[in-house]
Amino acid sequence: MYFSTLKNISQLVFISLVLSACTGSEAEDTTQPPVNNSKVSVATIPSDSQKVATTLNQISINFTGPVDIDSVQQQNITFLPAISYTLDASLLASNGLLLLTVTGDLMPNTAYRGKISGVMDQSAAAVATINWGFSTNSFSGVQPPADLTPPTAPGNLRTFNLSSSAVSLAWDASTDDVALGGYRVYRNNVLLSTESGTTFVDTSVMPSQSYEYWVIAYDQTQKTARSNYLLVNTPSGGTAPTPPAPNPPVPGDTTAPTVVATTPNNGSTQVSPNIAAITVNFSEAIDPTSINGSNFVLDNGVTGTISTLANDTGAQFVPSAALARGTTYTASLRNVTDVAGNSLTANSQQVYSWSFSTCGDTPSSTYTISWNAIADADLTGYNVYYGLTSSLSKANSTPVSVGSATSWVMNPTSLGFKPCDTVYIAITALGSVKSESALSTLISQVVN
């Protein structure tokens, strides 16, 4: 199901509604052969035994190490039954990613078997022959259109808690018009990890070395977008071990800890009153006995629970109740020290503080949900389901019938929603003979 929310305007967006149940066939036995000399391995999407739509438009092959590009030819990648595709090796040298753009639809309810052979790594060792299988669904309704838009690039790739033995990475989240698949983290052209979140810790680094990192976001059809490149120089030596209580000084440490990040950020607006925690990250480990309910405070009389995070390199304030709407809050840290007794660098009168504002009470916008009409002679109209849960279902939502219209205006005020509420929305199709379709893929809209 493909559809999108648009703020105050109408825009035509693709939507497909499956009007009957899907069936499929069992995938073939695709036991992988052993690796053939080379340490390079291969990951594929679709993965082994995965079910896919007949409109699958891209197959990705990800080598975990550098390969000889000249050994990657179209005749090395075969499918039974045959699949017509074009080969894109433009990303192979930089990040090991080979893309196959499928030309034409696959056959429904069919098991496909893929084979990758004859590939060599850069040391001339043979990469193991890969056999894997996937199968297509059998649709009686309209097939979903291709996802043609890549995700946004991961933003602001950065380090925190850098040491001689570990590099901690963080980046700003990507978005996708349909659904984000996740992130791939690379170091010096080698895939390190696939992550669903926006942080990763590389513990395989050495002291006094330079490493180049980047992160690639991918969607469910393997369209990708790359972050900025980040050059990291690891320091020499190791980090000081956590001293036993009551934290004796670390010899030679005269560097004051600093605040490297806060959540929410200073000056943030439209912060949810139901925020789970106010957090702060430090440039080094702090003395956990120096942070408590008297020196990590949130004004306006807010009470909560304070604890340290991530080997004492962070702390959090968990409010005991929801914050007030339309209110500016200031969080303050006072007399926080590292394990050597160095005081936290203040930003105002010996206190480190930052402020943020919560969402108000009155929504300022309406939202138009639009979709393409379904070409089905039995179609009689559409239902719109909505609610505040990501587990939205027909059982926990009362539908709005829009007849044969292909758009619906969501008015948060009339529906009882408030700013910062996340509303989940799905569409179904109705027929005179066929039963109501299943819910479409959910989308979400944060109310402003």
Of all residues in the chain, the percent with pLDDT exceeding 70 is 84
pLDDT of 32 strictly over 60: no
Does residue 376 fall inside a structural domain? yes
Does residue 265 fall inside a structural domain? yes
Query: Which residues form the domain of 219?
Result: 155-233
Question: What does the pLDDT average to over 401-423?
Answer: 93
Q: What is the CATH number of the domain that holds 436?
A: 2.60.40.10
pLDDT of 21 strictly over 50: no
- Per-residue confidence (pLDDT) for residue 67, from 0 to 100: 85
Q: Can you say whether the dihedral through the CA atoms of 178, 184, 185, 190 is positive or negative?
A: negative
Does residue 31 fall inside a structural domain? no
CA-to-CA dists, residue 121 to 44, 93, 142, 382, angstroms: 17, 12, 43, 53
Q: Are residues 118 and 176 in the same domain?
A: no
CA-to-CA dists, residue 96 to 118, 135, 202, angstroms: 16, 25, 19
Question: What does the pLDDT average to over 346-351?
Answer: 64
Question: What does the pLDDT average to over 376-380?
Answer: 90
Q: Within 13 Å of residue 398, how many CA atoms lie on the same side as its CB? A: 1
pLDDT of 24 strictly over 70: no
**Which residue among 169, 199, 233 closes a domain?**
233
**Which residue among 296, 326, 358 closes a domain?**
358
Does residue 251 fall inside a structural domain? no
- Per-residue confidence (pLDDT) for residue 222, from 0 to 100: 66
**In this predicted model, what pLDDT tens digit does every residue of 33-44 receive, in sequence order?**
434 567 777 888
Q: Is the pTM of this model over 0.85?
A: no
pLDDT of 8 strictly over 50: no
Residue 309's SS3 state is strand
For residues 203 and 209, give the distance between their C-alpha atoms in angstroms, rounded to a whole number.
13
Q: Are residues 266 and 347 in the same domain?
A: yes
Does residue 23 fall inside a structural domain? no
**In this predicted model, what pLDDT tens digit does every residue of 305-338 receive, in sequence order?**
998 886 788 899 999 999 999 999 999 998 888 8
Task: Provide CB contacts within 8 A for 441, sequence distance 6+.
Answer: 1, 2, 3, 178, 179, 426
- Per-residue confidence (pLDDT) for residue 13, from 0 to 100: 32
- Per-residue confidence (pLDDT) for residue 252, from 0 to 100: 61
Q: Are residues 354 and 263 in the same domain?
A: yes
Between 240 and 207, the higher pLDDT residue: 207
Q: How confident is the model at residue 80 (pLDDT cuts 50, 70, 90)?
A: confident
pLDDT of 69 strictly over 80: yes
What mean pLDDT, rounded, does the chain reach?
80
pLDDT of 10 strictly over 60: no
For residues 248 and 238, give the distance between their C-alpha atoms in angstroms, rounded to a whole number.
18
How many independent structural domains does the chain possess?
4
- Per-residue confidence (pLDDT) for residue 229, from 0 to 100: 84
- Per-residue confidence (pLDDT) for residue 397, from 0 to 100: 93
